[in-house]
Every structure is written in C-alpha cells, then in structure tokens.
Structure 1
Amino acid sequence: MHEHDVTSSDGTRIRGWRTDHPGPPVLLCPGLGTMPEVWPALLLPSAGVRVLSWYHRGTMGSERPKDPSRIELADHVADALAVMDAAGIRRCVVMGWSVGVMVAAELARRHPERVSGLLFTAGVPGDLFGAMLSSFGIPSVVRRAITLGGTHALRALSPLVDAILHRVPVNTLTATIAQHSGLMLPGADTQVIASVLERFLQHDWRWYFTLALAVGSVPARELHGITCPVTVLAGKYDVLASPDKATKPVAMLPQARVRIVPTSHFLPLEAPDAVIEELLLLLRRVRAVERARELARPPARDPIDALIPPPLTYGSRLRS
C-alpha cells in the first residue's frame, strides 16, 4: 500500500492511498476516519484488483479545508474524483463502506459516466442517523433524535473523549473487548482489530463528530436512474445500518444483487472473503453488461461518409 497526495477541486490537499497489484482498478470510498487495515483481504495481491482510496478531510494526513464548511457530501465526492483523476482512471467499479456508501451513491448519481458498478457494504445512501438502531424496533423519529442528539453531545464533550480514548491501551485484551461490545462481533483477526484500533482511537474527536454531523444531515436518497450493476452487502447484526435500511434503496434497481452475511457493522473485517467474492462477481457482471451494451450499439459511421452527397434521384435532377 502506497500513500500519496492529491489536490481536490477546492484546493484542499487530500492524502490518497493505493495498491499496485495487477487487476482492474476499484475506487474505495472509506468509512468515516478509517484506514486501509480495515480491508485486510482487499490489500492482498490475491484480491485481483488495484485499489484506490483516500483519507477524509482533516484525518490521517489529509488537510482540513480552509473553509471549514467544505465537508459536505459534495466535497467528499470531489475528493473521490480527484483520486480517480490523479490515477488516470476515467471509469471503474466504486465500492464503499458505512459513510462511504453515501459517497459512492452520490458519485454515481452525479457522474454516472465515471461509475461502471457499485458495491455497497454495510451502509445507506442517505439519512445516516435515521438508519441507526433500526434493528431495535425504535420508531424512526425517536432513533434519529437519539443518534443525532448523541453525536452533538459527544462533539461537545470531545475534550473528555480525547482524554480517554487517546490513553486507552491497545492490545489483544482491548481488541477482544471491542469484539464483544455489540458494535463488533468475534470473527475478525484480533491482531488486525488491534492495529485498526491503535490508529482509529487517535482521531481529533471534535473534528470527527463534526464530519459525522455534516454527512448525517443528508436526507434519504432515491437511486432511481442508476443503471449500472449494484451489489449490497449487509450485516445481519448491524446496529448502525440494519439490513432492511441497507437494502431498501436498491430494491427497484434493475441490476441489483443483495447478500446478507452474519456480521456486525464491521463487515469488511468480519467477512473479508465475502467482500472479495462479491467484488469479483460484480466485476464479472460489469464486464457482461458493458459487453452487451457494446454489441447493442449501432456501428459507428465512417466520417468520410458525411462528405459524400446522397445519390440524386430522377425527380431531383429535373428540379435542378
């Protein structure tokens, strides 16, 4: 995995990362404040793809925008395009996890010519806070009030959150506790969990919750009009994006496939093989669709044909 800097459309310096393995390019829209280690199988040569991604504004080496309001969904889409443009990628499969699903979906809505396929992993394309806690049967209005209010409270208490989380010792015991917390389930490699936690807990938590509130204000999105192949991977025990909320937006799409696996929200860590299986299947579906469209396209007219006048008919000769 290699890191590099790209410049987004508003001049913000974004820290990108990529793998250099052979295979088709895939743009990964990350979960909020997450790092490559979250995708252990995707980083291996055996994944068969070349991954491009980035760190969100103000995290992990990416610059905070000079205008602090430039952290809306459209700004994250601009960062995704900057990563693609810097790599010379005109069109590719785009995948996302958690908040990254919102970015991937918005990229496909605004720039369908850049997206050949979509893989949504444990996320929703809009109404982030309304999707949380759905599996508990709490009414949506109450859920949204609880999760939105809780995020505002955590942002206000961020100095205390920093003081606690920055001092949490990260080791096998910490990782094991996290895997039994309810937000995460056992199944992932404990050492990988520890590696992820070590970096994740060091965030500036006031900025982190500011980012979350900015994207959380995006309402539910309709995905009508998206015609590329779409795959949804949902975690059966996900309390942040329950399967019904994750799958409903794609229910009417003509090219949608849904798979539910027995994981929490941290599906990329707990079911890495399922991620690779569905990604490779999506790539095959994309190739089939692109090939079918190519065959259905009428043959291109030779430009020289436009210079040859149509043959004259008997009537046209008389009129002339």
Structure 2
Amino acid sequence: MLRPASRPELHFEIHGDHPGTPLLLVMGLGGSSRGWLALQVPELSKRLRVVTYDHRGVGGSADPGGPFTTADLADDAARLLDALGLERVSVLGAFMGGMVAQELALRHAARVEKLVLVGTLARADAKRRMLLEKWKAMMRHGLPLEILAQERMLWTLSDETLAQTDLVQRMLQGLLRDGLPMSDELFVRQCDACLAHDAESRLDEIRQPTLVVCGQDDVLTPPALHRALAAAIPDAHLVTIPGAAHLVMAEAAERFHQIVLQFLDDEAAQ
C-alpha cells in the first residue's frame, strides 16, 4: 500500500496485517525504503505489521528544500504516524535512521514502544566527521557512481564478504544499475544532518526498552561506539553479532531477525 502523508509528502508502505504494536523501519544515509524489501520486510512482516517510508526528498517523497536535521526527520516520522492513525510503534533505525530514531524517542516519547538502534551513534566523533566530510566532497566533485559504490562497500561490508569476488561484483552491478535514490545535493544534506546530530547528553532521557545491535567487524560504527551508546541509555541491551560489519542486517540477516523478533516478542507473539 502506497499513500502520501503531508508536510512534506512522504511515501510509505505497510506490510502485514497483524495486531499489536507496528514496527516502523527508518532507513539510513543514502538509502530508500526499497532497501528493506529484500530481507527485513519478508521476514519481519510474518509476525509484525511493518511500516516503511522514504525520508523527505528520497524515492517517492517530496523535498521541501533547504537544510534539515535528524530532529526534523523525526518530526516527519511523527507526522506520518499521525496520518496513518498510529498512536504507538516500535522503531528500528540504522545509521542515520538510528539517529532519527533517537530523536523520535526523545521528542515524541509517547509514540515509541521499543527502540532498536543498528550501526548508529549519538554524536559523530572526529573520524566519523572526517569521513562524512569526505563523502560530501566526493558527491560535490561528481565522482563516477562506481567509485562511490566501492567506497560504500569498503566501509560497510566485512572482510569475509569482500573476499567473495562474485558476490561483490553482483552487488556492485546492482548499485550501479539502481543508482542513488536521491540527488547528490540531498545526500550532502543528509550528511550535514548526521554531522549536526548530537543526542549524547540526552541519552539518559530515553526511557523505552532499547536494543542496540552491532556487527563485530563494523569499521564505520565500531563496537566501542555501540558499547558507549548502550551504556548511556538506561534500559538498553547490546548485542554484537560476529562475522558481520556495518551491514549486519544483510550479512547476518537470519541472526539479526531472530534477535529483533525476540526483543519485540510481546508484539510479535500477538
């Protein structure tokens, strides 16, 4: 089901028709809601009603223009919930989506039942800031998509996955075929939102039960950052999955789904 919500107009899909608390999936930097369709939606929607959507300016969502913050994106998500008549959801966010999920839990606490944070952080440290600035520069210089795709894969896939030449080549061809689901300029604005995000001093205000998931081999958001994130949230539980990097949701999909569904078992069991 695909319908718009206002201010800005957001495209969304609802998968599954289960009772209980729905699960809102919040996409990360440079991605669209299509990224959930291959793995997360088929598995999670077997037991949960799953809502996916595109951030402003991404895929089928309108771009109101101008800069925005992760707080703005969280407010967008809250307005989407209003449009759908959903009073309360559990929220799963990855990287930038995890930053938006933090803001949603802080700014709209009554709307969030449980929180799942994947491959994310509360504030970009010096290395992450340099990397985000590098990605902005790469986009502004109009580098070929192949170079951008290779850069993404180097930072998000484990060494074991990168060693699988045929698989990596298929993934690269898929990225080249599909392209970015947004303009280069919007990607830069998303990077700026990540750079400006700072929930570090407010994490102790997150009262929802929280699951923090990390790939053991994640170099983009390493385990140490996840340990600090989980330690700062009062009711947080950290799970580190071996054999996976930043794209833990894909590289260890079966284990990831088991962990998430176990955490959301009250809703999934209904």
Q: Same fold (TM over 0.5)?
A: yes
Which whole-Å CA distance do the structure 2 matches of 1:148 and 1:179 have between them? 12
CA offset at residue 20 of structure 1?
2.9
Q: Distance in 2 between matches of 1:284 and 1:13?
A: 32
The amino acid across from 1:279 in the alignment is V
The answer for the alignment partner of 1:271 in structure 2 is 252
Q: Distance in 2 between matches of 1:218 and 1:182?
A: 20
In structure 1, the partner of 2:177 is 198
TM-score normalised by the chain length of structure 2: 0.82
Match of 2:193 among 201, 214, 229: 214
User: Could you say which residue in structure 2 is the equivalent of 1:316?
Assistant: none
SS of residue matched to 1:44: helix
Matched, 1:29 2:2: no
1:227 aligns to what?
207
Q: 1:127 to 1:225 in 2, by over 3 A?
A: closer
Partner SS for 1:94: strand
- Computing the radius of gyration over CA atoms, which structure comes out larger, 1 or 2? 1
Determine the structure 1 residue equivalent to 2:78.
81
Task: Report the counterpart of residue 146 of structure 1 in structure 2.
Answer: 130
Residue 14 of structure 1 aligns to which amino acid in structure 2? L
1:192 positional shift: 7.2
Contact 2:93 2:118 in 1 (8 A): yes
Out of 237, 244, 247, the position equivalent to 1:257 is 237
Match of 1:109 among 100, 106, 111: 106
| Contact 2:28/2:96, CA 8 A, preserved across alignment | yes
SS of residue in 2 equivalent to 1:251: helix
Given the superposition, is the C-alpha separation of residues 74 and 114 from structure 1 closer, same or farther in structure 2, using an over 3 Å criterion? same
**How far apart are residue 82 of structure 1 and its match?**
2.1
Superposition deviation, residue 148 in structure 1: 4.4
Q: How many Å separate the matches in 1 of 2:249 and 2:107?
A: 26
- 2:15 aligned partner: 19
Mark the runs of 5 or more structure 1 residues left unpaired by the alignment. Answer: 131-139, 169-173, 289-320
Q: Percent identity?
A: 25
Residue 180 of structure 1: CA displacement?
Answer: 7.1
Question: Which structure has more RCO (C-alpha within 8 Å, separation ≥ 6)?
Answer: 2
CA RMSD across the alignment: 3.0
C-alpha displacement at 1:194, in angstroms? 5.4
2:39 corresponds to which residue? 41
Q: How many residues align?
A: 257
Q: Is the 8 A contact 2:136 2:191 kept in 1?
A: no
